[in-house]
Structure 1
């Protein structure tokens, strides 16, 4: 379920060649490099700037990020590093949008990102560089449980930033996108469907239920969801159920049957099939390995 790539590959002649990688996590440490062209992809992108600063062109707007900052933005917006200063390094982290939206971050923070804003930390913690080094080593180990732990720690780092003070470059207003005008058409429908799924995934719900929550025809809702989230409604519901089940397997001693039903799978056989397919191990094996 947690598939990592070292970097998101682009073709300057066709920036959308990265689209097939939108459901993968990415991590890349490098010297800052000026980009010849803007590109875009479907991730939430995090840039750590260690001992260097950089200038960006994001959605046609110029911004300068000081040394020792972390920025977060939705990379579906055309973006380009136009200048870099210093002998430091940059760490790029790519989070699939569908995963990011399950992290239950503060609503205002998420809304600003989806409306084209760039969020910047006021400073980095002393431990941030070491933390990214730990993440890099854990990912390189190709151990699924460590990869899962890395994702949890990245989520918690962003959550800390979201609840502490951060700044923005006010790009949404500079580019003409107000708080009620997302940069991608249909996002209001997507957010409504995501809220409905988050409230009902542990119950018996259908694609028709999800579409009705935002007043769309089933076929259009499915097409829109796939286009933005790069995953089907059914797959997304199963992702939430699997995350719920994993938490119960780790934190409780409940029988697998109870966990399957509580997470919304409906039957233990269906739970086993989906869990095995996603994690290449049974729920009981997962519990033993993390116990």
Structure 2
């Protein structure tokens, strides 16, 4: 029996800059340990099944399922069928909070729940393949259309049955009523942080950019995301730092400074809290891992 290959972040480059919309359509590798990224992850299972260990629960996605979960919490694809093909993307929060989803869905996802729906149709495999193709085409107009169409597809979730796991709810039924749009204030906050997280910013700077009082900015962001402003800024910096550490010539001190941390000690403390290891150990672990078959690791072609 051939030993299964495992996900190697330095080879696959999944954790990219936290403000980028990253799409994929691939046969994924299993993961040796959990990872994290400052985007909401969208998975559509084209074929086979996938099992994830999430922060606080486990879940299995089967062919035809579509799922969303907050990638800022550690998660791990620890088992899958040999024929697994999945598609989707890593959705920056600035897009996520523009989605017209029920308020409770967005807040539950940010607090660690997983949304899963089986209300997909025959068009989804073709659409996800096309969106991935467009996103990687190098054509800005095609890439923009891919993002717009994916966002509209996600918004349709509100009209069909879906489950939020874990939780006592079995299946949430779509109901008529007023839309509860996420606050545009959160969008302004996310926009400002995305543009400035590598600089020395605090809640006062963020609130000023959103044209609101600092205390109100902290309250509305916490209510919408389950995180403090400082937690989110740190997560953006750590995701950016993680991408920099994958480069062969990465210097830990320089990465800390370039990512917006004021000191190496603050960087080490924050990185260890999320990753469970120091930045130096993370970089060393990447370099010590054996290489994996590139053909599979970089597979992203749409299915025919």
Asked if these proteins are the same fold (TM beyond 0.5), I'd say: yes
State the match for 1:71 in structure 2.
67
Which residue among 112, 124, 132 is the counterpart of 2:108?
112
Partners in 2 of 1:139 and 1:196 — Cα distance? Answer: 25
Q: Residue 45 in 1 paired to residue 37 in 2?
A: no
Q: 1:1-291 to 2 correspondence within 5 Å?
A: 10=9, 18=15, 21-170=17-166, 193-194=185-186, 206-207=208-209, 209-212=211-214, 214=216, 226-227=233-234
Per-residue Cα deviation, 1:219-271 (whole angstroms, up to 9, x for no partner): xx9756644667xxxxxxxxxxxxxxxxxxxxxxxxxxxxxxxxxxxxxxxxx
Report if the CA contact (8 A) 1:51-1:87 is conserved.
yes
Report if the CA contact (8 A) 2:98-2:187 is conserved.
no
Report if the CA contact (8 A) 1:192-1:213 is conserved.
no
State the match for 1:257 in structure 2.
none
* Displacement after TM superposition at 1:86 (Å): 4.8
* Displacement after TM superposition at 1:144 (Å): 1.4
* Displacement after TM superposition at 1:101 (Å): 1.1
Partners in 2 of 1:114 and 1:52 — Cα distance? Answer: 27
* Displacement after TM superposition at 1:112 (Å): 1.5
- Which segments of 5 or more consecutive residues in structure 2 lack a partner in the other structure? 1-6, 170-181, 191-206, 220-227, 238-304
- Which segments of 5 or more consecutive residues in structure 1 lack a partner in the other structure? 1-7, 174-189, 199-204, 231-291
Q: 1:124 to 1:191 in 2, by over 3 A?
A: same
Q: How many residues are aligned here?
A: 193
Q: 1:191 to 1:142 in 2, by over 3 A?
A: same
Report if the CA contact (8 A) 2:47-2:83 is conserved.
yes
For the residue of structure 2 that corresponds to 1:29, the secondary structure is strand
TM-score, with length taken from structure 2 = 0.54
Partners in 2 of 1:162 and 1:228 — Cα distance? Answer: 28
Per-residue Cα deviation, 1:9-37 (whole angstroms, up to 9, x for no partner): 8359xxxx94x611111112221322111
State the match for 2:252 in structure 1.
none
* Displacement after TM superposition at 1:137 (Å): 2.2
State the match for 2:203 in structure 1.
none
State the match for 1:268 in structure 2.
none
TM-score, with length taken from structure 1 = 0.57
Higher relative CO (CA 8 A, sep ≥ 6), structure 1 or 2?
2
Partners in 2 of 1:71 and 1:38 — Cα distance? Answer: 18
State the match for 2:244 in structure 1.
none
